Amino acid sequence: MAGKKVLIVESPTKARTLSGYLGKEIEVYSSKGHVRDLPERELGVDIGNGFSPKWVVRDRKLIANLRKAVRDAALVYLATDPDREGEAIAFDLLELLSDGNRERFARVLFHEITPEAVRQALKEPGEVDLRKVEAQRARRILDRLVGYQVSPLLSLVLAGRRFEGLSAGRVQSVALRFICDRELEIQDFVPEPYWEVEARFPTEPPFVAKLEGKLTDEAQVKRLEEELSRAGFVVEEVVEEEVKRRPPPPFITSTLQQAAASELSFSPRRTMQIAQQLYEGVDVAGKPLGLITYMRTDSVRVADSAIEEARALVRDRFGKEFLSPRPRKFKNKRRAQDAHEAIRPTQVALDPDQVAPYLTPEQRKLYALIWRRFVATQMADGIWRRRKVKIRAGNWVFRASASWRVFPGFTRVLQVEKLADEEADLPEGLASGMELPAPELAFLEKKTEPPGRYTEAGLVRKLEREGIGRPSTYAQIVSVIQERGYVKRENGSLRPTLLGHLVTDFLRNYFPETVREDFTAKMEEDLDRIQEGQADRLQVLSSFYRWFSQRLSQVEGEIKEGKKPFRVLTDVSCPKCGAPMEVRVWKGGLYLGCSRYPECRTTRNLPPDVKYRYRPERVELAEGLAEAEDAPAAPCPKCGTPMQLKHGRYGRFLACPKCGHTMPVPTGVTCPKCGQGELVERYSPRRGTFYACNRYPDCRFTLPGKPVETCPICKKGVLYEDPRHGRRCSNPECPTRA
List active site positions.
294
Q: Are strands 487-490 and 27-30 parallel, antiparallel or unpaired?
A: unpaired
Q: Which residues, listed in sequence order, are joined to residue 619 by a DSSP beta bridge?
A: 570
Separation between Cα atoms, residue 250 and residue 299, nearest integer Å = 9
Fill in the amino acid letter for 697: P
Separation between Cα atoms, residue 234 and residue 68, nearest integer Å = 89
- C-alpha closest to that of 585 among 687, 486, 690: 486
* Residue 14 near residue 33 (C-beta atoms within 8 A): no
Q: Convert 448-459 to b/e letters by CB count within 10 Å (16 or more is b).
A: eeeeebbbbbbb
- C-alpha closest to that of 564 among 160, 150, 163: 160
> What φ, ψ does residue 655 adopt, rounded to 5°?
-135, 140
Angle between helices 474-483 and 268-280 (to 10 degrees): 140
Separation between Cα atoms, residue 468 and residue 472, nearest integer Å = 12
* DSSP one-letter string for 578-589: -PEEEEEEETTE
> What φ, ψ does residue 12 adopt, rounded to 5°?
-60, -35
> What φ, ψ does residue 217 adopt, rounded to 5°?
-125, 125
Q: What is residue 333's DSSP assignment?
A: P
> What φ, ψ does residue 547 adopt, rounded to 5°?
-85, -30
Task: Give the helix ranges, DSSP H, for 27-129.
Answer: 60-70, 84-97, 115-123
* Residue 292 near residue 345 (C-beta atoms within 8 A): yes
- Count the helices and strands in the chain (H runs, E runs): 18, 34
Beta-strand ranges (E) seen in 205-246 are: 207-211, 233-245
Separation between Cα atoms, residue 668 and residue 720, nearest integer Å = 13
Q: Which residues, listed in sequence order, are joined to residue 580 by a DSSP beta bridge?
A: 573
Sign of dihedral through CA atoms 524, 527, 532, 538? positive
Cα end-to-end span (Å), the chain: 66
> What φ, ψ does residue 254 adopt, rounded to 5°?
-65, -45
Q: What is residue 255's DSSP assignment?
A: H
Burial class (CB in 10 A: 0-12, 13-18, 19+), 61: exposed
Sign of dihedral through CA atoms 495, 498, 500, 504? positive
Residue 170 CB partners (closer than 8 Å, separation 6+): 142, 143, 146, 147, 514, 520, 523
* Residue 211 near residue 397 (C-beta atoms within 8 A): yes
| Torsion region of 335: left, alpha or beta (phi above 0 gives left; psi -120 to 50 gives alpha) | left
Separation between Cα atoms, residue 722 and residue 720, nearest integer Å = 6
Cis peptide before 205 (omega within 30 of 0): yes
* Residue 495 near residue 181 (C-beta atoms within 8 A): no
Separation between Cα atoms, residue 35 and residue 398, nearest integer Å = 68
